Structure 1
Amino acid sequence: MITIDYQNRMPIYEQIVERFQTLIVNGALEPDTQLPSVRNLAVDLAINPNTIQKAYAVLEQQGFIYPVKGRGNFVSGDSEVKNRKIQAFYRTLKNVVIQGKELGVTRDEFLEKSKEMFEEGQYDRN
């Protein structure tokens, strides 16, 4: 379900947040699905439970999950969460376009490269 890239400069808790966000937004984790316990996920990933707790706290603050005392954390049914994530993507895309223009990338080059990456499924975080 969740994998950690130890070569990635992104902090581990942020990687966990990002992976769960993707699973939730894509519908792989449906509303009211229970997440793994902090302890179990920490053991599975061989990382400190505090790291998992921090990731879950961020996900809760962002509205992706909700806690139930004594039972664990569950996926939120808030449909607005996906819309906020999509809007954040568009803001990032806008910044990429601006940066490309500053570097002299033409519209046609940008669109062609985007199309290639989209069709090939190149979503690597390199």
Structure 2
Amino acid sequence: MIFEIDENNKVPIYKQIQQQIILGIAQNKISPGDNLPSIRQLSDELSINPMTISKAYALLKEQGYLITDRRKGTMITQPTRFTDTERTEYLKALELVLIQGYLHQETATTILADVTNLLTKYEKEQS
């Protein structure tokens, strides 16, 4: 997987890495069982602090996207269903994104169409 880091982006680098891995899974660019580079290796490749990579990987592990095995390294795993707490956090994040669209005068119809189009796109990529 090729990472594209934009140091001028307001999004922190660890978050850019996290988002790119999640999108990579959704777009079938990486699959459960695939290995990711070690923290040190990715740090060297991207010329960024290893702690930044470590933070991204830790968040992805917490969210159920990665597992680490001392012998096999860090691998993509199949995320499980949300726990009640995770679902609550997910709904809060979704609400914030939807409200941002609404505040920028997107109509409910447009927002629903956008969500439907994105879900359809990812369903096609998964099959």
Same fold, TM-score > 0.5, yes or no: yes
Relative to structure 1, the CA distance from residue 99 to residue 64 in structure 2 (aligned partners, 3 Å threshold; closer, same or farther) is: closer
**Fraction of identical pairs, as percent:** 33
* Residue number in structure 1 paired with 2:44: 43
Query: CA–CA distance in 1 between the matches of 2:53 and 2:76?
Result: 15
Deviations 1:14-65 (A, max 9, x none): 1110111100122110111001111111011000111101110000000011
Distance 1:4 1:74 in 2: 21
Q: State yes or no: 1:71 paired with 2:51.
A: no
SS in structure 1 of the partner of residue 75 of structure 2: strand
Higher relative contact order (CA 8 A, sep 6+): 2
5+ residue gaps in structure 2? 119-127
Moved more, 63-72 or 12-21: 63-72
Q: Once the two structures are superposed, what CA deviation does each residue of 1:88-112 show, in whole Å capped at 9, x if it has no partner?
A: 5x8766555545555555567x47x
Task: Give me the TM-score of the superposition, normalised by structure 1.
Answer: 0.68
Change in 2 beyond 3 A, CA 1:60/1:101: closer
Instruction: Tell me the TM-score normalized by structure 2.
Output: 0.67
Is the radius of gyration larger for structure 1 or structure 2?
1
Q: Kindly provide the amino acid, as one letter, of the partner of residue 31 in structure 1.
A: P
Runs ≥4 residues deviating over 6 A: none
Quote the offset at 1:71 in angstroms. 2.7
Maintained 8 Å contact 2:64/2:80: no
Secondary structure, aligned partner of 1:73: strand
Task: Return closer, same or farther for 1:9/1:103 CA change in 2, 3 Å cut-off.
Answer: closer
Q: Secondary structure of 1:3's partner?
A: coil
Query: In the alignment, which residue of structure 2 is the partner of 1:12?
Result: 13
| Matches of 1:31 and 1:54, distance apart in 2 | 20
CA RMSD of aligned residues (A): 3.3
